[in-house]
Amino acid sequence: MIRSLGLALAAAAVLAATPALAQSYGGGASSSSSAGAGGSYNGGSRIQQTTGGGPGSGADAKIDTKIDPEAHAQGKKDAPEVIKALGLTCTLTDAYYMGSRDDKDDKGKAVTTKFYEVACQGGVGQIIQFTPPAGSKHYDCFQVLSTPNTRCRLPANADLKAVLATFVTATGRTCAINGFAYKGGTPAGDSYYEVACTGSLGFIIKHTAANENSAFDCVDAQSTNLACKLTTPEQIKAADRGIIDKLLAASGKTCTIADTRSVAKLKGGGAVYEVSCNDKTGYMLEAKGDGSFDHAIPCSGAEGLLGGCTLTDASVPQTQEVATYTKLVKASGFDCAVSKYRYLGSDTNHNEVVEVACSNRPDGGVAVLPADNSPGHVLDCVRAAALQVVCKYSDPALVYPHLSAALAAKGKGTCTVSNARWAVRTTKNTDFIETACSDGLPGWVVEFDTANQVQELYSCGQAASAGVACQLPGNTKK
């Protein structure tokens, strides 16, 4: 079975990250200034205005944590019902009332919006814009960093770097955090944060409404709307270059590297990298979960894998491996001077699977080759169906004369094979091939081993007793 690559990351439907919170209730520097058009601000403690410490800096923000005792008491009194009304997941530990704003709705009816900051056990603090019975909103304390010069001010919410550090620990990762940014959220209540680390590459944290945390690397976010900004593609490339050099050396491929890129992380901890070479060829290199080399895929055969190569023109014929594949397929017992090849993937034993065309014979085949470049075995274009492969370089009918010769060698020379199909692969790795004869008489089921040697011949009746029913025209007559 040809293996397909499994990505570790599913695309996230992330909403816009920037709230208009400060504008919604005035956002001025003074606690008594008027609100924006159509509203008036009614006192209380507004979102703390700060100096320095731009978005993502968290610990650098100069935050005045003094809170009016009456506003503090009112916040703790009101917050449980407000949280319940919004359906917000928050085990409340602290709250304060920030003030209110009078407005009119689209029908001219007077409405009052109240503002609260709440701290949540094991989660991120929230700023709540409460306009009952509808129209309420909430923003986490990371999210309001995108509003200029605004921060949460409750003691439990002030050190966002410390909050994020608990999320990082929960994912099992280590990171000396030197920067972070809110990336966005989903309708389900999931939030995404980018984390930058000193001495190592950053990553994305996913924090769910149920206070569960997971992480994925910046390389996996590069082509999504969660693309890292604090860890650059250049940093990723520099960190990966040492890994790529080792994988390329282990692959045995000859390549003077022109460029590289990280393609994806795989389930199980593996990874895929692309390298382009100065001779215009290139490869996808796959690493196992432990970082060791798995296999290399020429760009000419990688079109369907993770978007294919982008550093190499895959339409340029891959010819540098022709001599290698010729040597390997001949050592595998198949006399073929390889003229071109098509990479198909790898099987469950990590063997490389390649279709080859031959300059010295009309029929090609599908080679199954170990990753260490030792000889393997070659399946003809009938038996290739065992790997769910359909040959593109050779017509399966070119195999029929070889099947006729195999039958003749077993005393069945009266059958000139006119049709054939792969039926089943056994636990011994032998293949049952059903044949039909040109004279219309019943054909035979031939069992081949991996060296293309005939093991047994069966009539259709005998094969049916073994669980293999004949299906070709001429073999199903009663």
Q: Is residue 11 part of a domain?
A: no
Q: Is residue 228 part of a domain?
A: no
Residue 74 and residue 215 in one domain? yes
Give me the number of domains the chain comprises.
4
Sign of CA dihedral 99, 97, 89, 139: positive
Sign of CA dihedral 309, 314, 316, 320: positive
Q: Is residue 7 part of a domain?
A: no
pTM exceeds 0.75: no
Q: Is residue 29 part of a domain?
A: yes
**Domain end (from 221, 241, 271):** 221
Residue 445 and residue 364 in one domain? no
Model pLDDT, residue 67: 85
Could you tell me if residue 341 is left (phi over 0), alpha (psi between -120 and 50 degrees) or otherwise beta?
A: beta
Sign of CA dihedral 415, 419, 424, 430: positive
Q: Is residue 6 part of a domain?
A: no
Residue 343 and residue 270 in one domain? no
Residue 75 and residue 201 in one domain? yes
- Per run of 10 residues, the mean pLDDT along the chain (length 478 residues) is 32 44 34 30 33 36 71 95 90 93 85 93 89 84 76 87 93 93 87 92 91 87 85 83 92 91 82 91 90 86 79 69 88 93 80 92 94 87 94 94 94 94 92 94 92 90 91 80
Residue 252 and residue 332 in one domain? no
Model pLDDT, residue 65: 63
Residue 127 and residue 104 in one domain? yes
Residue 48 and residue 109 in one domain? yes
Q: Is residue 76 part of a domain?
A: yes
Residue 264 and residue 215 in one domain? no
Q: Which residues touch 408 (CB under 8 Å, ≥6 apart)? A: none
Model pLDDT, residue 173: 94
Model pLDDT, residue 59: 40
Residue 381 and residue 443 in one domain? no
Q: Is residue 1 part of a domain?
A: no
Q: Is residue 196 part of a domain?
A: yes
CB 143 within 8 Å of CB 182: yes
**Domain end (from 394, 426, 441):** 394
Its domain, for residue 329, covers 321-394
Residue 194 and residue 216 in one domain? yes
What the block records as the tokens of 370 is 């170990």
HSE-up (13 A, CA, CB side) for residue 259: 11
Question: Omega into 317 within 30° of 0, i.e. cis?
Answer: no
